[in-house]
């Protein structure tokens, strides 16, 4: 599925690569049809806090080391 981006919403604290605010939301140019391999990402409430030791799953995209593959 290829869909254009209508608007990119960077994190308010973004200050360049490899910072804690290095994340953004993309508003798509058109709706997409969800299916078995395409679905939404659920965002938590901004006030949600996880106690220490809570198991979490993270994903990302970027270099694992300087000069490495994406």
Q: Which pairing describes strands 5-10 and 24-28: parallel, antiparallel, or unpaired?
A: antiparallel
Number of structural domains the chain divides into: 1
pLDDT for the residue 49: 93
12 in a domain, yes or no?
yes
Give a yes or no: residue 20 inside a domain: yes
Q: Is residue 37 part of a domain?
A: no
d(CA 20, CA 17): 9
Domain membership of residue 9 (yes or no) is: yes
CA dist 21 and 24 (Å) reads 8
Domain of 3 in residue numbering reads as 1-32
Contacts 24+ apart (CB under 8 A), 40-47: none
Would you say residue 28 lies in a domain? yes
State the Cα–Cα distance between residues 39 and 62, nearest whole angstrom: 22
Q: What is the pLDDT of residue 69?
A: 61
pLDDT value of position 66: 72
Q: What is the pLDDT of residues 11-70, one digit of tens each?
A: 898 887 767 788 888 999 999 999 998 988 888 898 999 999 999 887 777 666 777 665
pLDDT value for 68: 65
Q: Please report whether residue 60 resides in a domain.
A: no
Q: Is residue 38 part of a domain?
A: no
What is this structure's pTM? Answer: 0.58
Considering the domain boundaries, does residue 25 fall inside one? yes
């Amino acid at each position: 599925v290829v869909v254009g981006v209508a608007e990119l919403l960077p994190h308010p604290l973004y200050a360049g690569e490899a910072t804690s605010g290095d994340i953004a939301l993309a508003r798509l140019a058109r709706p997409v049809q969800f299916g078995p391999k395409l679905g939404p990402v659920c965002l938590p409430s901004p006030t949600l806090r996880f106690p220490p030791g809570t198991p979490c799953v993270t994903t990302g995209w970027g270099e694992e080391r300087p000069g490495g593959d994406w």
